[in-house]
Structure 1
């Protein structure tokens, strides 16, 4: 027997694993870009119907090639209050089903010689690179990314399998798998440990399949390792939930409880089968397709078994992870960096947060006008406090957008992120103008001055139109409606005309000494602030027309 070169084997296997992980990540990225618009709609169909949640979880995981990434995304959604724990249960269950797609992709090589990794890898890589470099249409480039990732995944699998083949001659390696197969706890711990380290059950199953291709893995050790892999994949969500709110921690706990219970149930069943029903099966070598079948059966049956007890899983998680969520003023509600795993969702949630910031600014403008008309000190202070919150939101959103702009986005998503920077700036300026109006109110309170009846009527009229203009622009951006955007721009024109006419009328009142001088200054400054607010609303509407 030739001497084993452990350095060559180790480097080849690690290099193959790196290519496998890179290919899986790259293929998932291409699938995300190709299916981005569809993925944005998946969240909207999530209702209290857990069955829909299972389907969505399976679908998203099949697209991004990682149940860990899907569960991290779920933790992010729960943390951003976009998903309830009951909805999260279904998605987590579905994610476990969706992750089986990678194992089936790896199994293709056993079905026909044309689909073997050594044949398929160079073909996919060559076609993929050609499409990435020379295709003009974005859809074709996305297909190229998918093919390149697919080919690289197969190349890595082939390298791992070739590296492991010399190990078939070593009794120590064979004995290691015999020990893992005869001791369920060791087998489960081995699967959990490897998966926790590389933080991907799909990749961990891929490694197991590469070893199976080399003829190293018996049935019993494969089963226990697969069960352990489903426990180990929970580490990603658990680590992700650190620093998140209580419900997000509970979502990670649900993922662990669900996978742990399934592994315990199937572990007991496997022991019974290998000990009493089919004692000879455990020592037989398992092939790649059989690993895919086992992996799929486990995840599908586990979901069917525990699906009726989803409410109990939520109850158990709530009692294991105790505490209450406490929202702080100016705290981001829809943004979570965990959503970067699926950029299309991250962009849409950034839009939601910016629109929320706009609503806060609009409400603050209304309070500022109330403070001005009512000469109310408490409302003046409320405007000042809210303005600080708006500034905090601006800083938080901008930091998020900077990070979001540095991940892989489609051209349309990149444009949207760039426009969000501008909209955030417009909304912050709207907040500043509301703050200016509150300062005018404070001055009028100090000077004990007041508007004439005619001035109050005019300010009320232009304020209502300014508010309507801002509301319409924000709604237009939220739902991407060009009709509403055009309406907002028409309203802005009306505000401009009103401001000009009212300024002229006010000068006449000052000449006639109908209005107090100090109140007159406040009137003109208020007009100017409302007109500027409508200008910023018009900027938001213009972005809608550019994006359509």
Structure 2
């Protein structure tokens, strides 16, 4: 029992080390890796090469699959190009297995020591994240040595020998077991390295080890399909197409396992080299031999899984791709795009608000109030999506962006609520009572409304681009808007003193309306605060160099 626990602990350490490397690399290079993939999709061969490079860094073909699937789901690349990337991704992860099969146990203590020093001393910076990657690599090397040590005593157990003997007579069972292990471990790389270590210790015969390797490759494809099971059909097409290639590869290569054992394995120095090179050869054959079939497989998959042609509706979540959650930088981008969609709906409500005021349009008022439900739904969806992003895998900049998105969506949701209440007031206190603002009053409201729309569009630009100058301009506009609101409130009181009938009838509504517009503007301008604070421009007394302390107030 003790030896079994040691083996399970070593396997867990191997999987954990792989996880640390994957998340660490995505923290440091996640955005750059996305750009590399996006720029290299001009043809299937460059796409495959980019897949090799990205997966060699991330050490997970599943992570590359998630990034690529997300690109397809957002319409950035075509399905054939994505399948070509996946052919290279499988080669990349198999190349890493060859590297780790070399005896690098001497390097493990050095990597862990240097990694811990960097991580502890510079945890929030790039050096700390590089240290995390080094810790993961050191743990992987250490785990491989522990696996070898733990498996040797198990060899003497009669029950283990009997179990492995039963596997040796059934290739299909070996493939099934290998696939199951890859799915459970969430890493085909870790399982292949484990199989190589067990073969090196003669715990499993070579024919069983190769069958397990075929299963591990198949399992990585099944894992990607399971991970994207609830994703849009465009995303699932990538993982299903990738699984189809793996099934085809297993069907083609499995009959030749005996030839590998007879002619190739005898020239290997150690059994583990034969396992990892077989893994590399398998994926190389699929990549080189089947890359010309990407268009054909893509057409078959699209025919079997056609896209649903659904009309776009305001409440429909379009960018929150579940498959992107395993790549935090990509998930943050998805959430930001959906937040902008929420802001578009808020802009539609604000634009329609003036039309309701001018034309007493009850039907439009009802449509706009219902639109607030869509704004609320988007807020809930974005918030829930962001909570599913692993904060551990976010870098400092991405963590700030996470917070900015939450703040932005909260402000948009509150603006939508204010607009809804204003519309109800307009219906009850103006339209149903057949009252109208004076010409001067509607002119003032129109001026404030126009500034409000301009500020909302500027705030969306600030949120998207993070421009410090635009953020400063937004706070300047906040002060101007407040001064204008005070001026117009004073003019309204002057009209009351002149006994203007329309001003008297709508006085309370007019004052409430311009006050609500000011509140909306405060929510809009508050989007500038995080940008300026990050840039170090926002002093404790709020942007002294741009406006006076008295002019900068918190939202509301």
Task: Report the TM-score when normalising by structure 1.
Answer: 0.86
Question: For 1:333, which of 308, 318, 337 is the aligned residue?
Answer: 318
CA distance, structure 1, for counterparts of residue 484 and residue 40 of structure 2: 45
1:430-441 superposed matches below 5 A? 430-441=415-426
Q: CA deviation at 1:400?
A: 2.7
CA distance, structure 2, for counterparts of residue 430 and residue 58 of structure 1: 47
Distance 1:222 1:364, change over 3 A: same
2:297 corresponds to which residue?
Answer: 313
Q: CA deviation at 1:69?
A: 3.3
Are 2:219 and 1:225 equivalent residues in the alignment?
A: no
* SS of 1:515 mapped into structure 2: helix
Q: CA deviation at 1:441?
A: 3.3
- Contact kept, 8 Å, 1:241 with 1:249, in 2: the verdict is yes
2:251 corresponds to which residue?
Answer: 264
Q: How many residues align?
A: 531
2:26 corresponds to which residue?
Answer: 32
Question: For 1:507, which of 472, 493, 511 is the aligned residue?
Answer: 493
Give structure 1 stretches of 5+ with no counterpart. Answer: 1-6, 110-114
CA distance, structure 2, for counterparts of residue 325 and residue 64 of structure 1: 35
Query: What is the CA deviation profile of residues 377-401 of structure 1, one whole-angstrom value per residue up to 9, with x for unaligned ones?
Result: 2210111111011112222222233
2:411 corresponds to which residue?
Answer: 426
Q: CA deviation at 1:469?
A: 0.8
1:63-462 superposed matches below 5 A? 63-75=57-69, 85-86=79-80, 88-109=82-103, 115=104, 117=105, 119-135=106-122, 138-166=125-153, 184-215=171-202, 220-268=207-255, 270=257, 273=259, 279-281=262-264, 287-322=271-306, 324=308, 326=310, 329-404=314-389, 406-443=391-428, 444-462=430-448
Are 2:33 and 1:10 equivalent residues in the alignment?
A: no
Are 2:522 and 1:535 equivalent residues in the alignment?
A: yes
Q: CA deviation at 1:81?
A: 6.4
Query: What is the CA deviation profile of residues 461-514 of structure 1, one whole-angstrom value per residue up to 9, with x for unaligned ones?
Result: 321221111111111211222232223233333322332232233333333316
* SS of 2:526 mapped into structure 1: helix
2:477 corresponds to which residue?
Answer: 491
* SS of 2:102 mapped into structure 1: helix
CA distance, structure 1, for counterparts of residue 280 and residue 443 of structure 2: 70
* SS of 1:233 mapped into structure 2: helix
CA distance, structure 2, for counterparts of residue 176 and residue 162 of structure 1: 20
Query: What is the CA deviation profile of residues 432-471 of structure 1, one whole-angstrom value per residue up to 9, with x for unaligned ones?
Result: 2221332243232212222333333332232122111111
Distance 1:223 1:165, change over 3 A: same
CA distance, structure 1, for counterparts of residue 153 and residue 267 of structure 2: 19
CA distance, structure 2, for counterparts of residue 82 and residue 431 of structure 1: 31
- Contact kept, 8 Å, 2:441 with 2:503, in 1: the verdict is no
CA distance, structure 2, for counterparts of residue 261 and residue 68 of structure 1: 19
- Contact kept, 8 Å, 2:231 with 2:323, in 1: the verdict is no
**Deviation larger for 318-327 or 532-541:** 318-327
**Deviation larger for 131-140 or 475-484:** 131-140
CA distance, structure 2, for counterparts of residue 423 and residue 445 of structure 1: 33
- Contact kept, 8 Å, 2:210 with 2:278, in 1: the verdict is yes
Task: Report the TM-score when normalising by structure 2.
Answer: 0.85
Q: CA deviation at 1:186?
A: 4.0
CA distance, structure 1, for counterparts of residue 520 and residue 383 of structure 2: 21
- Contact kept, 8 Å, 1:219 with 1:281, in 2: the verdict is no
Q: CA deviation at 1:180?
A: 6.0
Distance 1:401 1:170, change over 3 A: closer
Distance 1:547 1:507, change over 3 A: same
**Deviation larger for 19-28 or 479-488:** 479-488
- Contact kept, 8 Å, 2:148 with 2:198, in 1: the verdict is yes
- Contact kept, 8 Å, 2:198 with 2:204, in 1: the verdict is yes
CA distance, structure 2, for counterparts of residue 15 and residue 192 of structure 1: 20
- Contact kept, 8 Å, 1:191 with 1:228, in 2: the verdict is yes
CA distance, structure 2, for counterparts of residue 53 and residue 510 of structure 1: 71
**Pairwise CA RMSD:** 3.2
Distance 1:455 1:315, change over 3 A: same
Distance 1:329 1:94, change over 3 A: farther
Distance 1:350 1:428, change over 3 A: same
Q: CA deviation at 1:541?
A: 1.9
Distance 1:445 1:14, change over 3 A: same
Are 2:505 and 1:518 equivalent residues in the alignment?
A: yes
**Deviation larger for 176-185 or 157-166:** 176-185
**Deviation larger for 167-176 or 100-109:** 167-176
Q: CA deviation at 1:34?
A: 2.3
- Contact kept, 8 Å, 2:193 with 2:276, in 1: the verdict is no
CA distance, structure 2, for counterparts of residue 199 and residue 417 of structure 1: 26
Query: What is the CA deviation profile of residues 249-299 of structure 1, one whole-angstrom value per residue up to 9, with x for unaligned ones?
Result: 33332221121122223334556x45xxx8454678763344333323332
CA distance, structure 2, for counterparts of residue 163 and residue 40 of structure 1: 39
Give structure 2 stretches of 5+ with no counterpart. Answer: 536-556
Distance 1:40 1:362, change over 3 A: farther
CA distance, structure 2, for counterparts of residue 68 and residue 149 of structure 1: 17
